[in-house]
Structure 1
Amino acid sequence: MRKKILSILFFLVVVTLTAVQAETIHISTNETELVLQTAQNGRLFQLYLGPRLSSPDDYANLTAKMKAKNDGQAWEVYPVSGTETYFEPAFGIRHNDGNLATVLQYVSHNEKKVAEGVTETVITLKDPLYPVQVKLYYRAYAKDNIIQSWTEISHNEKQPVNISRYASSMLYWKRAKYFLTEFSGDWAKEVNMSTTQLNFGKKEVDTKLGARADMHVSPFFTVGLGEAPRENEGQVLMGTLAWTGNFRFTFEVDNENNLRVISGINPFASDYTLDPGKVFTTPSFIFTLSNQGTGEGSRDLHRWARNYQLKDGNGDRLTLLNNWESTGFDFNETKLEGLIEETKYLGTDMFLLDDGWFGNKYPRHSDTQGLGDWQPTANKLPNGVPALVKAATKTGVKFGIWIEPEMVSAKSELFEKHPDWVILLPNREPYYFRNQLVLDLSNPAVQDHVFGVVDHLMTENPQLAYLKWDCNSPITNIYSPYLKDRQNNLYIDYVRGLYKVLDRIKAKYPNLPMMLCSGGGGRTDYEGLRYFTEFWPSDNTDPIERLFIQWGYSQFFPAKSIAAHVTSWNHDASIKFRVDVAMQCKLGFDLNIKELPKDEQTFCQSAVATYNRIKSINFSGDQYRLVSPYEGNHTATMYVSESKKQAVLYAYDVHPRFGENILAVQCEGLNPAAKYRVKEINLMPGQNPDEAFNGKVYSGDYLMKVGLDVFTTIKLHSRILELEAVE
């Protein structure tokens, strides 16, 4: 008996000593430090998140500060429901025995080098009473000041468990004030920026649309820490979730004015049933902590995206001519061949055939039918897609095509043949969004079908150069014939099924450029952009609206990923203004070039040539947002090459007021010691550049401190200036 008591006491002493010995974990970029530490109860807490401290000894002071806190009230990295957590948890579970609580204690961690300047830290947490394990992943990009975090959840209970919360990340701050900038809107009015102060309680930003993740709000945000976000000053958190489905950001200010930020998949209608031995991997939350405002944060995100996340992030992009605005569904082979000729005449790289080319039993003459039947319509295209690809090749341009393979029309051969492939309630009248339904991508047979749509096109047309992948409908009629008694898994398994298809496409056709489109800007996330070279930000191509839309998306995405087309929207705007707006991003045209006056045709041809000459500055350089369209009647943006030897300044007068006090635009990002020659470019035939500054040489210091008088009092007026360093 005495030996038994001594053994128990020895065990308790060992456990106590082990628990007291704190483990400290540093996740670092060149500018930011996230420090985690275990407490006496064996649980893991956030010790610090902020600018890197110069002395390692300073972190000991932080440890002492945390020890002064009560463990239950401290900042637990992955808090769970059912224990002493009083606020929104990161993790919730129902065990086999019905117990709703779990406790996660630190087990181990390891760090490895993933690439030059990229490290990955994996922290293992386990419940001491239940066979439940959570692994926290942190990937730090030193030079880009970006941290990715995600979670792996697994268990070995005898039966499946139900997880009701499964956050990708939880972060904490303590400041006097917090200000949230969110990006909301609707179809054709995406990413409207609005900023509000966060006070006590919870603010949630989420979507429940399933396939179209962000029709009403985008999966990214900015939080001003201490003050409202500004372009070049102040500390801001900029975060985004890499998930092409329902997401939720929770911002909770507690009774002590601490801010908790929880990011991940929206658990709405998604209490996930997880089998023993299976791993539930959350999407990655990507964030940067900038101490120099949103401008610096955006440049870090742009550079990171080009180097690590965006498909072909450092490659070129194709200019194109699309037929949609000029033809709609009304076209035939002869008309398209004419537009292919116009593509060559314009000087763009590729002709893109949009919606309306498929369906025979139910020809696609409108959006009411044919979706899902991917055979060319015989009376429109008697020689099929190969004839168009051949015509494009003969003309000297590339050929691309529009598809929407995740969707189906009720009036289609596919739906008649496979109603069991469709997400559809078995006992209620269906609801149709845009006259269509969503295919059930949780079903492997449907995944094969969707992959086959692309594979057939590419096999039949090896020279096909581009796909525009659309997704117009959110998930409605939420029921999966395939998942049967696991309907709560549908929202998540749909997205995972989509990724399986895209993985297969990327593996077989790794160099195929693809545009991510979803009724305009319904899909704008970095996991989707692993498979797509660019995204369609909005169906609204009015150049005034695009100035706001491009400004909003530029907060998180590089210019080369944002497709911008010149169309006939807003006839009050000149062709020059429309082109100058689109040239900030990835340029395309969607109008009938030959119907333009001759001088406008000449201008467009010249603009394409100019764009091809300067686009590398937009694509690979640093972006500086100089004057916001939200703050007045003018807006300006510039791009500066990595060497700082070249720059392009875009300036727009939208609605100047009579007698307005016009201010000079101060450049940013230049070498103050260098000399720059300024040249106005992209002029209409016969238009003379402004002699006030054109051709003159200024120091970078002058351009950044004094600036240039590029704005005018002319409505819908625009200028593009090229700055080049001279010896």
Structure 2
Amino acid sequence: MNLRTVLSFGLLFSSVAIYAQHINIPVETRSNALVLQADAKKNLNTIYFGKKLANASEYDQVAAQYKQTSEYTGVLSSPYTPAGSKSLLEPAIAVTHADGNNSLDLRYESHKVEKISDDVSLLSIVLKDPVYDFQVTLYYKSYFKDDVVEQWSVIRHREKGNVVLQKFASGSIYLKADGFWLNQYHGDWAKEMQPEESKITHGIKTLDTKLGTRANLFQPSVFMVSLNKPATEDEGTVLYGALEYSGNFRTDLELDYQNNLKVISGINNFASPYSLKPNEEFTTPAFLYTLSNTGKGDASRNLHNWARNYKILDGKGNRLTLLNNWEATYFDFNEGKLFELLKDTKKLGVDLFLLDDGWFANKYPRNGDVAGLGDWEENKTKLPNGVASLVKEAGNNGVKFGIWIEPEMVNPKSNLYEKHPDWVIKQPKREEHYFRNQLVLDLANPKVQDFVFGVVDDLFTKNPELAYIKWDCNAVIYNAYSSYLGNQNHFYIEYMRGLYKVLERIRAKYPSVPMMLCSGGGGRVDYAALKYFTEFWPSDNTDPIERIFIQWEYSYFYPAITSSNHVTDWGKQPIKFRTDVAMMGKLGFDIVVSHLKENDLKYCQEAIKNYNTLKPVIWHGDQYRLANPREGSVASMLYVNPEKSSAVMFSYLVNNRYDEGSKLPVRLKGLDSGKKYSIKEINLYPDTKSAIDASKIYTGDFLMKVGFNPVVNSGRTSVVLQIEEIK
């Protein structure tokens, strides 16, 4: 007998097929389908993940088309494989039960779908151990239009004692293809997001970090997997993956004996066996993924749209342009100097002045990075009238005021360290190790959480007009130990829980204040952090040539509105080149305005006006990577508004060898082939003429099939083109 029950959940979950022998549970988005199946023995497996089939009943025919070696276990394609029973490969979860037993078996119990909106649905699947009173609920939150899925798990039990979670992934996905290629990233300070692509071979490839705070310093948690062949910008099947977690992560990619790939991602279980009490719930962070059948560009645009709509704080809102004092003064400033910089802020034409490090501490003044961190009172020598006088003076100059903090950290040479050594993460019997002359405060301790929240709260209580926070996080965790926690195995997890508690409190009281996630560069950027921060700092390396490459790689995973790009004195390129590069995101300046030549200042002022006109397209439009800097002498990036009526194209010379430049036209993307467009060069340096004839009209068809040459060469190293529909 064949019984089919059709449950209508709009477009996302089309049906649940219940047969005498199995239950199919599809997770469908606009283009893709992930189909899970509970068999007659209640084993839950993945029977399909790929481009959506028109006929849902045909998912049952997929397995028969693969003539692979025997599946000995029945759980090889499990979406959440347990250790210690039938699994022969890497598990998603491993436990030690209250009686000391290390085995776990998870069988399908039930599932349900909650329709959150026309676009979003939430599937939950309950898995239970038939012997122990232990269960895992798998969650799949699906975003139909953007082809995005978030997967996480909730683990609970009712045994007679604690169960130790030895591994506790968020979830996994199972892929079938004729070969797999991994695009991963590595780096260091000022060398962020260095890509590496390689074919995945048998065994396990692990992407992970154990740094505790600046988790992404050496190994970002984002990655791509291409199926069948390496994907290009516009061709091929590619999976983007990312863990929404700001602490230690671990992603295992295992090519099994059948030549299929399982990707398991979650919190790193390194030094973190977790003792779960009866009836306590352990909720893992979300593992995010999107699958594109038309190349990397489509995947990134889906992710950008999803992020702006659902994840980033104020993702569809506005951002502030700013002038930062760091490279103008470093730690050497006083109220008078800052008043002059406030005048320069207005003169330049940006929205906000940002006061960086060095404004605080008295017993151990913050005149360098060796002292004062943790003592968040205004330095009386530098700021005799406090931050309030600066906020007021900013208002008098018609600009806003923001400030730098690093509230998770402490210098050993500080009042805070002397008064509360028990608040500091350090092994009590070992020599202290410093990262940038500082240590990390123990956010597992509620008193420390109150202190860190108080740093922010006190600033806003005293200065209600404060308009911006730059939140830094420069140290990693050495000698991990919490004097507050009884169980040190919980340390890394409780630290992150404490950080998120602080950020939730800040956003509950100050929901809309812009905050930059700095972390010495991209050391802590992920989609869990971006729920609380409006933007992040990609790298302390602001050399514009280097930034083209760094910003390019970040653009695969994060939309331009989140990328804080500053014009600085790093590099030897002219001010135009530096500014044009910084405009591919959220523009800021970190220069001495008074030292600018007259024409340099004029250029910056005009470029800011252009940027204010174009920023809705850059921040909220579709992003297209046109010419890869790693593949040629020119880099080109295009942003197109949703109506396809306005676009902006950035092009740069990235090779200074003789006679290099844009010798061929660059084919545009994302335009309407039937529309007509004008192309005008903007951001021209004073007293120069454009090589572009702005009077000519082009169809979208021509621009996308033939292309347009921005005329980039040694005399025109950066070119910005404004593209507008002609009606």
1:307–1:314 CA contact under 8 A, matched in 2: yes
- Residue type at the aligned position of 2:611: Y
Residue by residue over 1:145-188, the C-alpha shift from the partner in whole angstroms, topping out at 9 and shown as x without a partner, is 10000010111122221101111121111212111001111000
* TM-score normalized with structure 2 length: 0.96
Residue by residue over 1:65-113, the C-alpha shift from the partner in whole angstroms, topping out at 9 and shown as x without a partner, is 7999555354111111111211110000001111111101111100011
Deviation at 1:229, TM superposition (A): 2.4
Counterpart in 2 of 1:9?
none
Counterpart in 1 of 2:577?
577
The equivalent position to 2:320 in structure 1, one of 308, 318, 321, is 318
Counterpart Cα distance in 2 of 1:500 and 1:630: 41
2:559–2:619 CA contact under 8 A, matched in 1: yes
Secondary structure of residue in 1 paired with 2:704? helix
Asked whether 1:477 is paired with 2:473, we answer no
Counterpart in 1 of 2:466?
464
Counterpart in 1 of 2:292?
290
Counterpart in 2 of 1:639?
639
Counterpart Cα distance in 1 of 2:359 and 2:189: 24
Counterpart Cα distance in 2 of 1:52 and 1:640: 28
Q: How does 1:262-301 map to 2 (within 5 A)?
A: 262-301=264-303
Deviation at 1:659, TM superposition (A): 4.4
The equivalent position to 1:254 in structure 2, one of 242, 248, 256, is 256
Counterpart in 1 of 2:511?
510
Q: How does 1:342-353 map to 2 (within 5 A)?
A: 342-353=344-355
Deviation at 1:713, TM superposition (A): 3.0
Q: How does 1:194-213 map to 2 (within 5 A)?
A: 194-213=196-215
Deviation at 1:57, TM superposition (A): 2.5
Deviation at 1:217, TM superposition (A): 1.3
Counterpart in 1 of 2:673?
672
- Residue type at the aligned position of 1:101: S
Farther off after superposition, 715-724 or 274-283: 715-724
Deviation at 1:461, TM superposition (A): 0.5
Farther off after superposition, 265-274 or 713-722: 713-722
Matched length: 707
Counterpart in 1 of 2:12?
none
Counterpart Cα distance in 2 of 1:372 and 1:657: 49
Counterpart Cα distance in 1 of 2:282 and 2:194: 33
2:276–2:282 CA contact under 8 A, matched in 1: yes
Counterpart in 1 of 2:121?
119
The equivalent position to 2:141 in structure 1, one of 139, 142, 145, is 139
Deviation at 1:533, TM superposition (A): 0.3
Counterpart Cα distance in 2 of 1:342 and 1:396: 11
Deviation at 1:694, TM superposition (A): 2.7
Q: How does 1:53-64 map to 2 (within 5 A)?
A: 53-62=53-62
Change (3 A) 1:679 1:117: same
2:227–2:237 CA contact under 8 A, matched in 1: yes
Secondary structure of residue in 1 paired with 2:224? strand
1:19–1:40 CA contact under 8 A, matched in 2: no
- Residue type at the aligned position of 1:550: Q
2:691–2:711 CA contact under 8 A, matched in 1: no
1:359–1:375 CA contact under 8 A, matched in 2: yes
Residue by residue over 1:649-697, the C-alpha shift from the partner in whole angstroms, topping out at 9 and shown as x without a partner, is 1000121433458211010000001000000001111111114x43321
Counterpart Cα distance in 1 of 2:716 and 2:678: 26
Deviation at 1:715, TM superposition (A): 6.6
Q: How does 1:305-704 map to 2 (within 5 A)?
A: 305-484=307-486, 486-571=487-572, 573-660=573-660, 662-691=663-692, 693-704=693-704
Counterpart Cα distance in 1 of 2:153 and 2:437: 38
1:150–1:281 CA contact under 8 A, matched in 2: yes
- Residue type at the aligned position of 1:649: M
- Residue type at the aligned position of 2:316: N
Counterpart in 2 of 1:37?
37
Counterpart in 1 of 2:6?
none
- Residue type at the aligned position of 2:636: A
Farther off after superposition, 712-721 or 242-251: 712-721
Residue by residue over 1:238-263, the C-alpha shift from the partner in whole angstroms, topping out at 9 and shown as x without a partner, is 01110000111111111121111111
Q: How does 1:10-159 map to 2 (within 5 A)?
A: 21-62=21-62, 70-72=72-74, 74-159=76-161
Deviation at 1:40, TM superposition (A): 2.4
Counterpart Cα distance in 1 of 2:647 and 2:439: 47
Counterpart Cα distance in 2 of 1:275 and 1:496: 17
- Residue type at the aligned position of 1:708: F
Farther off after superposition, 342-351 or 660-669: 660-669
Counterpart Cα distance in 2 of 1:403 and 1:454: 8
- Residue type at the aligned position of 1:584: M
Counterpart Cα distance in 2 of 1:85 and 1:613: 57
- Residue type at the aligned position of 2:622: D
Deviation at 1:20, TM superposition (A): 5.7
Counterpart Cα distance in 2 of 1:659 and 1:325: 34
Counterpart Cα distance in 2 of 1:73 and 1:143: 31
Residue by residue over 1:290-313, the C-alpha shift from the partner in whole angstroms, topping out at 9 and shown as x without a partner, is 001110000000000000000000
Secondary structure of residue in 1 paired with 2:86? coil
1:41–1:71 CA contact under 8 A, matched in 2: no
Q: Percent of counterpart pairs with the same letter? A: 52
Counterpart Cα distance in 2 of 1:344 and 1:633: 37
Residue by residue over 1:286-339, the C-alpha shift from the partner in whole angstroms, topping out at 9 and shown as x without a partner, is 110000111000000000000000000000100000000110000000101111
Deviation at 1:21, TM superposition (A): 3.6
Counterpart Cα distance in 1 of 2:63 and 2:175: 16
Counterpart Cα distance in 2 of 1:88 and 1:363: 52
Counterpart Cα distance in 2 of 1:588 and 1:713: 26
Counterpart in 2 of 1:6?
none
Counterpart in 1 of 2:182?
180
Counterpart Cα distance in 1 of 2:524 and 2:231: 25
Deviation at 1:236, TM superposition (A): 0.2
- Residue type at the aligned position of 1:140: S
1:654–1:716 CA contact under 8 A, matched in 2: no
- Residue type at the aligned position of 2:538: P
Counterpart Cα distance in 1 of 2:528 and 2:117: 20
- Residue type at the aligned position of 1:239: G
- Residue type at the aligned position of 1:683: L
2:75–2:81 CA contact under 8 A, matched in 1: no
Counterpart Cα distance in 1 of 2:668 and 2:275: 54
Residue by residue over 1:413-471, the C-alpha shift from the partner in whole angstroms, topping out at 9 and shown as x without a partner, is 11111111111101111111111111110111111111011000011100000100000
Counterpart Cα distance in 1 of 2:286 and 2:105: 23
Deviation at 1:189, TM superposition (A): 0.6
Counterpart in 2 of 1:709?
709
Counterpart Cα distance in 1 of 2:31 and 2:113: 19
